[in-house]
Every structure is written in structure tokens, then in C-alpha cells.
């Protein structure tokens, strides 16, 4: 079966308006808050499950963005795994 990143055109310098549909994937996967920075890491004392769930969402968000980005632009975001700060060093 095809996944979200195989079915659409990769982000490039000329197609941002059509690519922003990836936001819908992030919303559907409940990862948009990670990208926006409105979902913060679990507080100190959080359960192991809460920490694991947050890390999973964070990984999913980054993966969706990275895999929907044209290979020519991937180096700009490959040095981070933080979906709300791509390219930040």
C-alpha cells in the first residue's frame, strides 16, 4: 500500500501552495500541535506512556515532513528531528 509521502508531489521551491495539504496529514495523525509548538513535552513526573506517546508524535511529524520534501531540500532539515524547528541547529 502507498503511504502519505508516496502519493503526493514532494515539497520544492515552486509548489508550496499545493504541498501545504501535508498539514491535513499532520492533523489526521494528531501531530499538528507538535509542528505548531502548541503541544509541549510531558511535564516532569509524566508516565512512561505519556513520554512514549509524545516522542512517537514528534517522530511521526518529522517523518511526514521529511518524506514529503524534495530530495534537494532534505539537507536543510536533515540535521534535526524537531518538526517545529526544521533546519535549526
- Predicted pLDDT of residue 1: 43
Cell of 39: 503541544
For the chain, how many structural domains are there in total? 1
Tell me if 4 sits within 8 A of 68, measured CB to CB. Answer: yes
What is the residue-wise DSSP string for 56-69?
HHHHHHHHHHHHTB
Residue 49 lies in a domain: yes
Residue 86 lies in a domain: no
pTM reported for the whole predicted model: 0.75
- Predicted pLDDT of residue 74: 84
Residue 87 lies in a domain: no
- Under the banding of pLDDT at 50, 70 and 90, the label for residue 78 is confident
Residue 4 lies in a domain: no
Residue 54 lies in a domain: yes
Taking residue 59's Cβ as centre, other Cβ atoms within 10 Å add up to 14
- Under the banding of pLDDT at 50, 70 and 90, the label for residue 3 is low
Cell of 43: 511535564
Residue 48 lies in a domain: yes
Structural domain containing residue 43: 16-79
C-alpha–C-alpha distance, residues 7 and 42, integer Å? 33
The mean of the pLDDT values for the chain is 83
- Predicted pLDDT of residue 89: 46
Amino acid at each position: 500500500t502507498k503511504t502519505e509521502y508516496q502519493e503526493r508531489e514532494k515539497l520544492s521551491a515552486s509548489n508550496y501552495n499545493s504541498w501545504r495539504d501535508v498539514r491535513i496529514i499532520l492533523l489526521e495523525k494528531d501531530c499538528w500541535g507538535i509542528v505548531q509548538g502548541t503541544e509541549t513535552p510531558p511535564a516532569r513526573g509524566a508516565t512512561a506512556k505519556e513520554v512514549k506517546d509524545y516522542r512517537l508524535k514528534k517522530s511521526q511529524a518529522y517523518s511526514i515532513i521529511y518524506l514529503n520534501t524534495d530530495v534537494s531540500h532534505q539537507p536543510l532539515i536533515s540535521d534535526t528531528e524537531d518538526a517545529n524547528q526544521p533546519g535549526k541547529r
